[in-house]
Structure 1
């Protein structure tokens, strides 16, 4: 026997809701994080001993900004924003580059220059110095 007045949502309603939910999640994932304020001067990001020469580590500032710190030599470090300039995903170190897992942009570790798009802008540099065995913001 077929009921003339079904008690639950129709198949069309369920599919509409599922589609709207999927679209919302997709847009949220592509929107990236909101820009965190720059780190306060003098903030300790990481101990120099925690970053081997030629390697990178990802850190988060007290204000929530994601930063990639690369140790270029015994005493020289470079710090770059870890937020891809294309759509705000977090970049990761892969081989000799920083790579965006969302859309494939690649950036130079030494200066954040774009090596491969779709990003068109370099990763912003975070000014740092080595002080008392630690990497601190300027």
Structure 2
């Protein structure tokens, strides 16, 4: 015959039940960095980025440019005007399709409005032929 649940038993059981789904939810970043977190994966090969041009990585919201041979830059692909994602790199600029803003590939500064603020720089690491987020 089982004993009726006491208030202490109910509270303890409820606390365990509430805590159980959170197991593994903590902020331990060691597992993601040890396994090569997705932020550190290769964006591109250096040969994928044309000299004097660049490439938009829409899914990562990053644009990587090569203003001059061997000089790689990265910027947010989110236009500072209204938050659209830029869609191409052409003729020395990073272009936004929404309202026509264009940004210089060398430093992300505004080449043509309506945007008034530059694209924020992103940090990349070039190792050998590999370009990764730093």
User: TM-score, normalized by length of structure 1?
Assistant: 0.62
Cα distance in structure 1, aligned partners of 2:102 and 2:66:
19
Query: Secondary structure of the residue that 2:80 maps to in structure 1?
Result: coil
Offset of 1:105 from its aligned partner?
A: 1.2
Alignment of 1:1-138 (within 5 A): 40=39, 42-60=40-58, 64-91=59-86, 92-138=88-134
Distance, in Å, in 2 between the alignment partners of 1:56 and 1:79 is 9
User: Which segments of 5 or more consecutive residues in structure 1 lack a partner in the other structure?
Assistant: 1-38
Query: 1:73 & 1:121 partners in 2: Cα distance?
Result: 23
Larger Rg: 2
- With normalisation by structure 2, the TM-score equals 0.63
Q: How many residues align?
A: 96
Q: Residue deviations 1:12-53, cap 9 Å, x none? A: xxxxxxxxxxxxxxxxxxxxxxxxxxx73x331101121232
Evaluate the alpha carbon distance shift between residue 94 and residue 75 of structure 1 in structure 2; reply closer, same or farther with a 3 A threshold: closer
Equivalent residue for 2:16?
none
Q: Secondary structure at the match of 1:49?
A: helix
Alignment RMSD: 1.8
